[in-house]
């Protein structure tokens, strides 16, 4: 695997988690910032990043494949609107991901 380290911050696993699949594929828009904010909001509410791995390759796999479950365990203490917002910010389908205006209007 070859990655542009200056683009996704190879030295920091948390930076990779914030990058999202669209950055990893090289095809991205301003909605990558919504993804990053969703990752940060997840970390603030849960205390850990949504995509985990013990290596860079496993983090990439998690970003591309892991389905987040917003109804289990720790999420029960988070409001339904907050869970819904994070889910819509972390959707892999860029066309379905919320825009900044949509995120800020709630």
Q: Domain containing 39 — which CATH number? A: 1.10.510.10
Query: Domain tally for the chain?
Result: 1
pLDDT digits (tens, 9 = 90+) for 57-82: 898 899 989 999 888 888 999 999 99
What value does the CA radius of gyration of the chain take, rounded to a whole number of Å?
Answer: 13
Comparing 60 with 14, which gets the higher pLDDT?
A: 60
| Structural domain range at position 48 | 5-104
Is the dihedral angle over the CA atoms 2, 14, 35, 83 positive or is it negative? positive
pTM as predicted:
0.75
Report the C-alpha gap between 28 and 32 in whole angstroms: 6
- 20-24, 53-57, 100-104: lowest mean pLDDT where? 20-24
Tokens of 62: 């998690």
Residue recorded with tokens 């900044």 = 100
């Amino acid at each position: 695997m070859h990655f542009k380290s200056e683009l996704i911050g190879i030295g920091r696993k948390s930076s990779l988690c914030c990058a999202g699949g669209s950055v990893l594929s090289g095809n991205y828009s301003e909605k990558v910032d919504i993804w990053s904010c969703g990752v940060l909001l997840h970390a603030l509410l849960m205390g850990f990043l949504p995509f985990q791995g013990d290596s860079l390759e496993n983090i990439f796999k998690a970003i591309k494949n892991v389905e987040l479950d917003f109804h289990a365990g720790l999420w029960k203490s988070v409001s339904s609107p907050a869970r819904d917002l994070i889910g819509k910010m972390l959707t892999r389908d860029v066309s379905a991901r919320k825009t900044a205006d949509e995120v800020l209007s709630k």
